[in-house]
Structure 1
Amino acid sequence: MPIHIGLAGWGDHDRLYVPSAKAGSKLRQYAKHFPVVEVDSTFYAIQSRERFGKWLEDTPDTLHFLVKAYQGMTGHQRGPSVPASETNEMYAAFRDMLEPVIAAGRLTAALFQYPPWFDCTQANVRILRETKERMKGIPCALEFRHQSWFTEEFREKTLAFMEREQWMHSVCDEPQAGAGSVPTVLRATDALSTIVRFHGRNVSGWTQASAPNWREVRYLYRYSDEELLDWVGKLRLLEQQSEHIHVIFNNNSGGDAADNAKRLMEMLGLARPDGGEPNEPPPPVVEQLDLF
Structure 2
Amino acid sequence: MPEVLIGTSGYDHPELKGSFYPADLPRKDFLSFYSTKFNALELNSTFYGMPTAERINSFYERTEGKIKFTVKLTRILTHEIDGLWKNRAEEFKAAVIPLIEKNALATILVQFPESFGYSEKNRFYLSDLLKELSPLPCVVEFRHRDWIRDSVFEGLSKRDTGIVFCDMPQLQNLPDGFALKTPFIGSNAYIRLHGRNANGWYAHTADGEETHRYDYEYSASELKSFIPIIGRARDEGKTVQLYFNNHPKGTGFKNAMELKAMVEGESL
TM-score, normalization: structure 1? 0.83
Counterpart pick for 1:187 among 177, 183, 186: 183
Asked whether 1:255 is paired with 2:253, we answer no
SS in 2 for 1:188: coil
Q: Pick from 20, 25, 28 the counterpart of residue 21 of structure 1.
A: 25
- 1-side partners of 2:72 and 2:51: how far apart? 11
Take 1:165 and 1:122, find their aligned partners in 2: how far apart are those partners?
18
Bigger Cα displacement from structure 2, 86-95 vs 12-21: 12-21
Q: Percent identity?
A: 25
Larger radius of gyration: 1
- Is the CA contact (8 Å cut-off) linking 1:52 and 1:100 kept in structure 2? yes
The aligned counterpart of 2:10 is 9
2:195 pairs with 200, 216, 219, which one?
200
2:153 match = 159
Q: Is the 8 A contact 2:57 2:98 kept in 1?
A: yes
Distance, in Å, in 2 between the alignment partners of 1:209 and 1:228 is 28
Of 57, 73, 95, the residue aligned with 1:53 is: 57
2:204 and 2:10 mapped to 1: Cα distance?
A: 22
Matched pairs, number: 258
Q: What are the within-5 Å matches in structure 2 for residues 1-292 of structure 1?
A: 2-12=3-13, 13-14=16-17, 15-74=19-78, 76-77=79-80, 82-83=82-83, 86-150=84-148, 155-184=149-178, 185-190=181-186, 192-208=187-203, 211-214=208-211, 217-269=212-264
- Of stretches 109-118 and 174-183 in structure 1, the one that deviates more from structure 2 is 174-183
Shift of 1:248: 0.2
In the aligned structure 2, how far is the partner of 1:27 from the partner of 1:270? Answer: 26
Q: Is the 8 A contact 2:193 2:246 kept in 1?
A: yes
Provide the residue aligned with 1:289 in structure 2: none
- Structure 2 residue runs of 5 or longer lacking an equivalent are none
Alpha carbon RMSD of aligned pairs, Å? Answer: 1.8
Distance 1:140 1:209, change over 3 A: farther
Cα distance in 1 for residues equivalent to 2:189 and 2:237: 6
How far 1:182 moved relative to its partner?
3.6
Contact 1:64–1:107 (8 Å) recurs in 2: yes
1:10-35, Cα deviation, whole Å (9 max, x unpaired): 11243222213222110000000000
